[in-house]
Structure 1
């Protein structure tokens, strides 16, 4: 690789860190004034006889593994790990430079039973832009994903977890629900996979939603240890829709444990 290409790649990596890092550090504060629905609440209004596939999170100790801002050059290895461990995940994908660059990985995610969702087109902070820009940030990845896997995503994660009434209204019009998180490894701050693992395990709880980024070098190597340790604790890994089941994500609602 030439020096110029290396510099360009480095610049792109730094830009990615700047764009994504605030998302993992936000935790709860970005949506303090927005009503959210817990997974247990989503399940509570459904008949006791209802079931979703082979996992009933009203009885099982469920947790959802989610990855933001991919696909990336690390995603193929991540998918290999998830397949080997028999673990489904939810991928909140970026459009520009990601879905466009790795369409085969988007198809593979869907084919292998993972939930393919949206993280907007270009990671714009939705609460800082107008309604038409919000709509564009949401519709463009929806259209790109539909072309690749045959259907549009019904879930999205707002950049930095920031949402408001306008974002919710547009999501409802587009048939989408928003999904936040309860566990963040802050994997943008370190390449130490052992540290990432410890951070996740320290925060994990039933009905949790784990936020990771497969764009960072230290994250994917941490995944096997995270999975094995949580399985030993009795957790069952599910996608976000499975976590809410037998309830279903409602467009316009914001879900957070």
Structure 2
């Protein structure tokens, strides 16, 4: 079995080498994964984007959790943006291309204008580990290109559908300048429209330095967001974007960030 990136210099010094057995192929592969806390703790001077990522929040001192939404934008997303604006919260949106970014460019433009972080969730939501490198590149670069045309900024964060990644996906992400963001909290809101249950699942799972995964297109989710924000704040949490959670470290292309 190959040694997982021994001797390779990494900007995140404590990145863990994860070795995955690929039984179907009879071989092995590896990719780098680190936690937001480890990334922060081992950030080098000058890693942050001139303070852009950290803003006024220092998650080395504050009790932070990142709020993220997958699979939009969709018809209900403007209402979610209204809620976040009212609550003075910025979130990270991992956007899907076909039927979403391509259909609602005005919503994407509004996200960026209101200070939210706009990121990549592939063009058609295919499981990337099932694709060849050229197909992975197309799934990711198409969304990057579309978002850049709308907002003027090319995303540097992505979330792999179903959280499934491997060495092949990581290599393409490095080439495209994309860091991979997983999560620690899921309400499984794709399975239920019960707002109370969604709220309970999020609150039960949230811990400091976590990343919350929700989907803005499901009916039970947006009504849960105000209560989630209020309760987390009452527990001492500051809700942030993914880049704010990582700062002063800058997201490293190809790296998998997992709380």
TM range (shorter): 0.7 to 0.9
How far is the alpha carbon of 1:36 from its aligned partner?
1.7
How far is the alpha carbon of 1:168 from its aligned partner?
0.3
1:1-257 matched pairs, under 5 angstroms: 33=20, 34-46=31-43, 52-257=54-259
How far is the alpha carbon of 1:35 from its aligned partner?
3.9
How far is the alpha carbon of 1:184 from its aligned partner?
0.3
State the Cα RMSD in Å: 1.6
Structure 2 spans left out of the alignment, 5+ residues: 1-17, 21-30
Deviations 1:203-223 (A, max 9, x none): 000001000001101000000
- Over 3 Å counting, the alpha-carbon distance change for 1:57 and 1:185 in structure 2 is same
3-state secondary structure, aligned to 1:148: helix
The answer (yes or no) to whether the contact 2:119–2:155 under 8 Å persists in 1 is yes
- Distance across 2 between alignment mates of 1:184 and 1:47: 31
Judging by fraction of residues, say which structure has more strand: 2
Deviations 1:110-151 (A, max 9, x none): 000000000000001100011110000011000000000001
Structure 1 spans left out of the alignment, 5+ residues: 1-30
TM-score by length of 2: 0.85
TM-score by length of 1: 0.86
Q: After TM superposition, what 4+ stretches of structure 1 lie above 6 angstroms from structure 2?
A: 48-51
- Distance across 2 between alignment mates of 1:79 and 1:242: 19
The number of residues matched between the two structures is 227
